[in-house]
């Protein structure tokens, strides 16, 4: 499940040339590991196809229009729970401490509640613990999936895939409350704090955000090929 989670984290990151070049490897990792149910895997196809085909600048514009210009689609989990209140600050501190307690130090400007960071951290946990971890914000992830689906965005498939790996589904009461209290989007508002940046964890496990995920997928693929050759020999 580790490669699958890292692939999903990469797909939710800001599009880049490195990500575009790695789409075949991401596709292979998702198919080879077989962690996702077939419907969830098939649903990712349109996004993978688009990111492989589209010019990077065009993909970046689509991403920014969705996630940087819309508060209701923010990829920061606590934005949906606490808004700009003081509680969000304490929640971020607590989440960061959970990373530290497991030997991970977030190295970079991204906040601990950024969904790609949250999912990449899960990729370093034992599978059952990772599933429990992903289930904690299931209502937020489900709200994001629903909002993206209403906009016809292929990114909804990534949220759906994460939910498919979670141990628990969303709490429907919490999900309903989130949908009722969704912030009104102001297209003219651009919050610089939401801009995508490289993510890495330093410590017991080295991690490098979306670009680092691509590198690890490539390394893992080479290792699998080498192992296969060794077995034949």
Per-residue pLDDT of the chain (233 residues; tens, 9 = 90+): 999 999 999 999 999 999 999 999 999 999 999 999 999 999 999 999 999 999 999 999 999 999 988 888 999 988 877 666 577 778 788 888 888 888 887 777 788 889 999 999 999 999 999 999 999 899 899 999 999 999 999 999 999 999 999 998 876 776 666 666 666 554 444 444 434 333 333 333 333 343 344 343 444 444 433 444 444 44
CA distance to 70, 111, 115, 120, 232, per residue, from 193 (Å):
13, 9, 14, 20, 51
The helix/strand/coil state of 202 is strand
pLDDT at 218: 40
The number of beta carbons lying within 10 Å of the beta carbon of residue 17 is 9
Residue with the two structure tokens 């689509």: 62
pLDDT at 168: 83
Q: Distance between CA atoms of 138 and 36, rounded to whole angstroms? A: 16
Q: Under 8 Å CB-to-CB from 8, ≥6 apart: which residues?
A: 119, 158, 161, 162
The pTM of the full predicted model, rounded to 2 decimals, is 0.76
Write out the DSSP string of 15-54: P-HHHHHHHHHHHHHHHHH--S-HHHHHHTHHHHHHHHHS
pLDDT at 179: 65
pLDDT at 175: 64
pLDDT at 88: 75
Closest CA to 19 of 27, 11, 31, 28: 11
pLDDT at 204: 33
């Amino acid at each position: 499940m580790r490669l699958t989670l890292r692939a999903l984290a990469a797909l939710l990151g800001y599009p880049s040339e490195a990500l575009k070049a790695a789409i075949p490897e991401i596709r292979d990792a998702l198919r080879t590991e077989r962690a996702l149910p077939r419907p969830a895997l098939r649903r990712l196809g349109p996004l993978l196809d688009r990111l492989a085909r589209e010019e990077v600048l065009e993909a970046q514009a689509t991403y920014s229009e969705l996630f940087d210009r819309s508060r209701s689609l923010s990829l920061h989990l606590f934005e949906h729970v606490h808004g700009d209140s003081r509680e969000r600050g304490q929640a971020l501190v607590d989440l960061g401490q959970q990373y530290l307690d497991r030997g991970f130090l977030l190295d970079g400007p991204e906040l601990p509640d950024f969904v790609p960071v949250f999912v990449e951290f899960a990729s370093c946990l034992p599978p059952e613990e990772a599933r429990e971890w992903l289930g904690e914000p299931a209502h937020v992830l489900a709200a994001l999936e629903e909002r993206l689906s209403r906009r016809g965005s292929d990114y909804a498939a990534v949220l759906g895939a994460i939910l498919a790996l979670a141990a628990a589904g969303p709490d429907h009461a919490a999900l309903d409350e989130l949908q009722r209290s969704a912030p009104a989007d102001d297209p003219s508002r651009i919050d610089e704090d939401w801009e995508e940046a490289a993510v890495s964890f330093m410590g017991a496990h080295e991690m490098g955000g979306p670009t680092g995920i691509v590198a690890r997928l490539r390394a893992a693929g080479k290792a699998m090929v080498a192992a296969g050759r060794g077995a034949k020999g």
